[in-house]
Amino acid sequence: MHAQNNVGMADTGSPSASSLDEREARFQSRIDDGIRVEPQDWMPDRYRKTLIRQISQHAHSEIVGQLPEGNWITRAPSLKRKAILLAKVQDEAGHGLYLYSAAETLGITRDQMVDDLHTGKAKYSSIFNYPTLTWADVGAIGWLVDGSAIMNQIPLCRCSYGPYARAMIRVCKEEAFHMRQGYDIMLALCAGTPGQKAMAQDALNRWWWPSLMMFGPPDGDSVHSAQSQAWKIKLFTNDELRQKMVDQTVPQAEHLGLVVPDPQVKWNAERGHYDYGDIDWEEFYNVVKGNGPCNRERLEVRNKAWTDGEWFRDALVAHADKQAQLATAQAA
């Protein structure tokens, strides 16, 4: 790898392969030392690209994630629940905003990212392609989906890229509240009428497997894992996080008096973890490819909101331009 001698070329604009290697090595050793990467710092192109993909996907997930729960705002069964849900969905929009800003520090614009989402080029968490059929789904999403998100995001508060780590700290505080409100909805349903309890069980049945899929493919099949771990933008493997989620959730389900829809879930004293059954990865890849129950609908709604809002966004620009012209004319 270091075959070429490049003395005297290290500081030119287009570094040779080995000076790039040296820069990358220095970059890596800073990361190993726990030094945060900031936007103005040099970084390998692949690091930048990987982060843009990861952060923008995360941002898109927050934005599209508003839709399944937003579906129940107008039908929330009490005014208190309605207020909590409104606040929660608003938080998710805020998360999208912080994350788009974090990604923008890497040299991409929000418009570009939004465009990639709308054309289907960019991905978002496949869990949001499942429908929210009952009120209990709002509870299950808070409990399981926000629960999984926390599992994923708490380690990212220590990730190597400064703006991302800082965004995650803000986001995680709110995610903890999201998970609690979801679990609280489930508690109320499970302490309620037989109809309400059946609704809760049905929601768990439908959201359990997709929530476990949220952590991504098994470690053996995960494409970007090793490099991302070296760069500290992924701190645990998919399977490690998934196991944590199972370990946390099974006792919570028991506390609710609900049954996890996997007969193979069993405490394994030797491992100190719950065992669980095989995940249907074919379903996962199918949803990622765009064939989930709501992929089309979610993208259509986002696209429609964007297209319908074009006049509004353009008008604000037009007004600002007029004001600027006026200011120039007055100054002249």
What residue ranges bind another protein (CB under 8 A)? 63, 66-67, 70, 73-83, 86-87, 89-90, 93-94, 96-97, 100, 135, 185, 188-189, 192-193, 195-196, 301, 304-306, 308-316, 318-319, 322
Q: What's the min distance (Å) between Cβ of 104 and another protein? A: 13
DSSP 157-178: TT-SBHHHHHHHHHHHHHHHHH
Here the tokens at position 293 are: 């129950």
DSSP 126-158: GGGGS---SHHHHHHIIIIIIHHHHHHHHHHTT
- Determine, following the binding rule CB under 5 A, whether residue 92 of this chain makes contact with Fe ion: yes
- Determine, following the binding rule CB under 5 A, whether residue 69 of this chain makes contact with Fe ion: no
- Determine, following the binding rule CB under 5 A, whether residue 60 of this chain makes contact with Fe ion: no
Cβ proximity to another protein: between 76 and 250 the closer is: 76
Residues in the chain: 332
- Determine, following the binding rule CB under 5 A, whether residue 116 of this chain makes contact with Fe ion: no
Q: Choose the contact partner of 121 out of another protein, Fe ion, none; CB within 5 to 8 A by kind.
A: none
Find tokens 């040296």 and name the residue: 22
- Determine, following the binding rule CB under 5 A, whether residue 178 of this chain makes contact with Fe ion: yes
Cβ proximity to another protein: between 97 and 230 the closer is: 97
Q: What's the min distance (Å) between Cβ of 101 and Fe ion? A: 15
Q: What's the min distance (Å) between Cβ of 261 and another protein? A: 24
Q: What's the min distance (Å) between Cβ of 210 and another protein? A: 20
Q: What's the min distance (Å) between Cβ of 148 and Fe ion? A: 10
User: In this chain, which of 69, 104, 116, 146 binds Fe ion, going by CB under 5 A?
Assistant: 146
CA distance 183 to 191: 12
Q: What's the min distance (Å) between Cβ of 186 and another protein? A: 11
Cβ proximity to Fe ion: between 31 and 186 the closer is: 186
Three-state DSSP state, 121: coil
Q: What is the CA radius of gyration of the chain?
A: 23
Q: Is 216 left (phi over 0), alpha (psi -120 to 50) or beta?
A: left
CA distance 206 to 211: 9
- Determine, following the binding rule CB under 5 A, whether residue 95 of this chain makes contact with Fe ion: yes
Q: Choose the contact partner of 177 out of Fe ion, another protein, none; CB within 5 to 8 A by kind.
A: none
Compute CA distances 203 → 136, 253, 258, 306, whole Å. Answer: 6, 12, 10, 31
Residues whose CB is less than 8 angstroms from the CB of residue 61 and which lie 6 or more positions away in sequence, other chains included: 124, 125, 128
Here the tokens at position 130 are: 């499942």
- Interface residues with Fe ion (CB under 5 A)? 62, 92, 95, 146, 175, 178
